[in-house]
Copies of this chain bind each other. A is one copy, B any other.
Amino acid sequence: MIKKYVFGRPVKTDAVVMEIPESKEELSVMELTESDGIRLCCRMEETDVVYGLGEQVRGMNKRGFSYVSHATDDPAHTEDKHSLYGAHNFLILHRRKQAEEENRSFGIFVDDPGRVVFDVGETKHDWLVIRAGSDCVIYVIDGDGPKDVVKQFRRLIGRSYIPPKWAFGYQQSRWGYCCEEDIRTVVREHHGQGVPLDAVYLDIDYMEDYKDFTVDEKKFPQFESFVGEMKEQDVHLVPIIDAGVKIEKDYPIYEEGVQKGYFCKDENGEDFVAAVWPGRVHFPDVLNAEARAWFGGKYKVLMDQGIDGFWNDMNEPAIFYSEKNLGKVMDEVIALKDENLDIHSFFHMKELVVGLSNNQEDYKSFYHNMDGVKVRHDKVHNLYGFNMTRAAAEAFDRIAPGKRTLLFSRSSYIGMHRYGGIWTGDNRSWWSHILLSLQQMPSLNMCGILYTGSDIGGFGNDTTEDLLLRWLEFAIFTPLMRNHSAIGTREQEVYQFEHIEDFRNIIRIRYGLLPYIYSEYMKAALKDEMYFRPLSFDYPEDAHAVQVEDQLMAGESLMIAPVYVQNAGGRYVYLPEDMLMVRLKSLGDRTSEVLTKGHHYVEIALNELVIFVKKNHVLPIAVLGDDMRTTADIADAEYEWIGFVEDAAEYLLYDDDGIAKNCNLEENCKKITVRREDLA
């Protein structure tokens, strides 16, 4: 049951797809106050758990911190950060049923694309307080526990994006691959050493002077034929697209955008000047339908050369500086010359310079034209990345109709999940970021974002061999499985390390699991369900399951419990029921044993994967040839089955051609009965 409450005159965000009449009842699950915006609050009991909020730091249970929805380009995902790249204003207060008591869990979605604050017991340990703007729509979802609340919410916001099947393969990226030869090396080193690889990414280096929809001819003299050369090896190239359009005379996109008035304006109606990679840029006004169609149409330039996947970046939008503020700061700094800079003046100067980037005043100084209405950016800030990605997705429907194109974004807002996935941004080579990634996955799934994953090995800082290997052991379960790193950091393609066989084994296990991962992904997308779930979602009666913050249910048959602590030779695992523990040194080298419900310490060597199969569940494993290199090689692979079966278990196997857009459960699912004796 979903109730809708409208406050003030909210902008149309297109977050939801379902028409719901405005509720005539009072908003009852939280106490509402209207003054200087909307304020909702309620007392939390000690055992209440709060889920949701999508891409944020800290645990799956969001209690004990406050989260601010304000899309932010911040490359230090530490515990104190209130905002990351996305704004996902959906949470669930989960109150476990006491005997005889009625269920009192609820979900709440605050459809306000400006700044929204969720104080989940930071200020006062027992109080949940939400503060939004005066103009917003609030949806309250009453459901039978968190799983049901999520399902209702997901119906409200529409079906999740489905990428092509090859996008479930292993992918390699690095800011710093500079030319054809760099990319050939990446493919050759992977495929040559028996490590499967489906895609290589082009970061900002491929462009001419960081101009969107250009290719630097010095680095890629024959781009189209190079794309073709890669395609012959079934390797896809995935270029980055940035939000800012370089200000440069005769650069057609710039000239057209200016001429047609498609860029965001400053307070005087001039094109707003910010700066990112190329220096000064304008931002296409993707909140305007016409401008959005125009910008989306530009992706065709690359698609015509064979490109079938993109990642949209810097679309919070990130701003290095605005022209106006830079001038001001420069003058202030110059005025300090020859002063005795003490604690106050020195830190003031430093803050001025550091504060040039993503400055809040800049976000208040430009405007969108939303269907004829001038809207100041900060009021709709969180819609930018959503609509840049929507621009692309809507264009793909015209440029490559009926076909899936890979698309994901850095910034997002509820609703963007219909158009593309996200990656979780500029993480670090930190062990704690394996855990953070694990914890973000179900929170994102709740918000409809299914195609997602973190930069494996860490984007910033130097990785180590053990970190990369442990990270992969988790990431073989994330739909987006991409190794990505920043320029200047240690090179972290798997072949840079000593024990290539360990990496080969782990990545091949991903491909072996693909029939399962793809089936589970498609069923989750088509049924508005979650691919990754906290244990408590599957075991709502289990009092300990809500405590488990470092294990996940992955699809219907599996529980995973990755090692995320350096030098650990194992870890504690909680089993909410008896499960089959399967230990894999490689896809073919596996042993298994039944572990009983309860707490266990499980030894897991650095080069081993351990997974847990639920009772009366099975999963298909593709039988891989030694020469398997990409998902294309396993299109017709045979399956074997592993499982934990008394007599027999049923599995709904989804498969399709991996490219056609009309995915359909009835047509593409086979119900397979696996008997005990069928197990490998």
Contact of A568 among B210, B547, B565 (CB under 8 A): B547
Is residue A184 contacting chain B, with contact meaning CB distance below 8 A? no
Q: Produce 1/0 per residue, A48-62, CB < 8 A to B.
A: 010000000011010
In the bound complex, CA of A528 to CA of B188 (Å): 57
Q: Which residues of B contact A601 (CB under 8 A)?
A: 544, 572, 574, 599
Q: Which residues of B contact A326 (CB under 8 A)?
A: 341
Provided the pairs A277-B342, A334-B337 are in contact, do residues A572 and B549 lie with their beta carbons within 8 angstroms?
Answer: no
Is residue A430 contacting chain B, with contact meaning CB distance below 8 A? yes
Provided the pairs A432-B79, A462-B80, A599-B572 are in contact, do residues A124 and B498 lie with their beta carbons within 8 angstroms?
Answer: yes
Contact of A341 among B275, B354, B462 (CB under 8 A): B275
Is residue A346 contacting chain B, with contact meaning CB distance below 8 A? yes
In the bound complex, CA of A103 to CA of B371 (Å): 78
A80:B346 contact, CB within 8 angstroms: no
Q: Which residues of B contact A498 (CB under 8 A)?
A: 124-126
Query: A294-340: which residues lie under 8 A (CB-CB) from chain B?
Result: 320-321, 326-327, 330, 333-334, 336-337, 340
Q: Which residues of B contact A337 (CB under 8 A)?
A: 327, 330, 334
Q: From residue A246, how far is it (CB to closest CB) to chain B in Å?
A: 9
Q: From residue A596, how far is it (CB to closest CB) to chain B in Å?
A: 14
Query: A57-71: which residues lie under 8 A (CB-CB) from chain B?
Result: 58-59, 61, 63-65
Provided the pairs A431-B79, A461-B80 are in contact, do residues A566 and B353 lie with their beta carbons within 8 angstroms?
Answer: no
Contact of A566 among B58, B350, B465 (CB under 8 A): B58
In the bound complex, CA of A432 to CA of B122 (Å): 17
Is residue A567 contacting chain B, with contact meaning CB distance below 8 A? yes
Q: Which residues of B contact A76 (CB under 8 A)?
A: 76, 78
Is residue A349 contacting chain B, with contact meaning CB distance below 8 A? yes
Closest to A79 in B: B430
In the bound complex, CA of A58 to CA of B65 (Å): 24
Q: Which residues of B contact A280 (CB under 8 A)?
A: 340
Contact of A350 among B64, B342, B353, B544 (CB under 8 A): B353
Q: Produce 1/0 per residue, A341-374, CB < 8 A to B.
A: 1110110011001101100000000000000000
In the bound complex, CA of A467 to CA of B63 (Å): 12
Provided the pairs A122-B462, A430-B78, A547-B569 are in contact, do residues A350 and B354 lie with their beta carbons within 8 angstroms?
Answer: yes
Closest to A605 in B: B46
Is residue A176 contacting chain B, with contact meaning CB distance below 8 A? no
Q: Produce 1/0 per residue, A273-285, CB < 8 A to B.
A: 0011111100000
Closest to A334 in B: B334
In the bound complex, CA of A574 to CA of B277 (Å): 51
A346:B279 contact, CB within 8 angstroms: yes
Is residue A616 contacting chain B, with contact meaning CB distance below 8 A? no
Q: Produce 1/0 per residue, A174-211, CB < 8 A to B.
A: 00000000000000000000000000000010000010
Of A204, A327, A432, most B-chain CB atoms within 10 Å: A432
Contact of A567 among B61, B276, B350, B461 (CB under 8 A): B61
In the bound complex, CA of A278 to CA of B342 (Å): 5
Closest to A356 in B: B350
In the bound complex, CA of A64 to CA of B357 (Å): 34
Is residue A164 contacting chain B, with contact meaning CB distance below 8 A? no
Q: Which residues of B contact A572 (CB under 8 A)?
A: 572, 599, 601
Provided the pairs A334-B337, A350-B354 are in contact, do residues A64 and B342 lie with their beta carbons within 8 angstroms?
Answer: no
Q: From residue A341, how far is it (CB to closest CB) to chain B in Å?
A: 6
Is residue A464 contacting chain B, with contact meaning CB distance below 8 A? yes
In the bound complex, CA of A357 to CA of B349 (Å): 12
Q: From residue A399, how far is it (CB to closest CB) to chain B in Å?
A: 30
Q: From residue A500, how far is it (CB to closest CB) to chain B in Å?
A: 13
Q: Which residues of B contact A320 (CB under 8 A)?
A: 341, 346
Is residue A428 contacting chain B, with contact meaning CB distance below 8 A? yes
Q: Which residues of B contact A210 (CB under 8 A)?
A: 342-343
Q: Produce 1/0 per residue, A472-500, CB < 8 A to B.
A: 00000000000000000000000001110
Q: Which residues of B contact A599 (CB under 8 A)?
A: 572, 599-601
Is residue A570 contacting chain B, with contact meaning CB distance below 8 A? yes
B349:A353 contact, CB within 8 angstroms: yes
A64:B467 contact, CB within 8 angstroms: yes
Q: Which residues of B contact A80 (CB under 8 A)?
A: 428-430, 460-462
Q: Which residues of B contact A144 (CB under 8 A)?
A: none
Is residue A501 contacting chain B, with contact meaning CB distance below 8 A? no
Is residue A74 contacting chain B, with contact meaning CB distance below 8 A? no
Q: Which residues of B contact A549 (CB under 8 A)?
A: 565, 567-568
B333:A63 contact, CB within 8 angstroms: no
Q: Which residues of B contact A216 (CB under 8 A)?
A: none
Closest to A466 in B: B64
Q: From residue A401, how far is it (CB to closest CB) to chain B in Å?
A: 36
Q: Which residues of B contact A343 (CB under 8 A)?
A: 204, 210, 276-279
In the bound complex, CA of A343 to CA of B519 (Å): 42
Q: Which residues of B contact A429 (CB under 8 A)?
A: 79-80
Contact of A346 among B65, B321, B333 (CB under 8 A): B321
Q: Which residues of B contact A78 (CB under 8 A)?
A: 76, 78, 428, 430
In the bound complex, CA of A275 to CA of B341 (Å): 8
Query: A562-596: which residues lie under 8 A (CB-CB) from chain B?
Result: 565-570, 572, 574
Closest to A46 in B: B606
In the bound complex, CA of A330 to CA of B350 (Å): 12
12 other A-B residue contacts (CB within 8 Å) besides A80-B462, A330-B336, A599-B601: A49-B567, A64-B567, A78-B430, A79-B429, A125-B464, A279-B343, A321-B346, A330-B334, A349-B353, A350-B357, A547-B569, A599-B600
Instruction: List 25 contacting pairs A-B, 8 Å CB cutoff, sorted by A.
Output: A59-B565, A63-B566, A64-B567, A78-B428, A78-B430, A79-B430, A79-B432, A80-B428, A80-B461, A124-B498, A125-B464, A125-B466, A204-B343, A210-B343, A275-B342, A275-B346, A279-B342, A279-B345, A280-B340, A333-B333, A350-B353, A549-B565, A549-B568, A572-B601, A599-B601
3 pairs of A and B residues whose beta carbons are closest in the complex: A279-B342, A279-B340, A80-B461
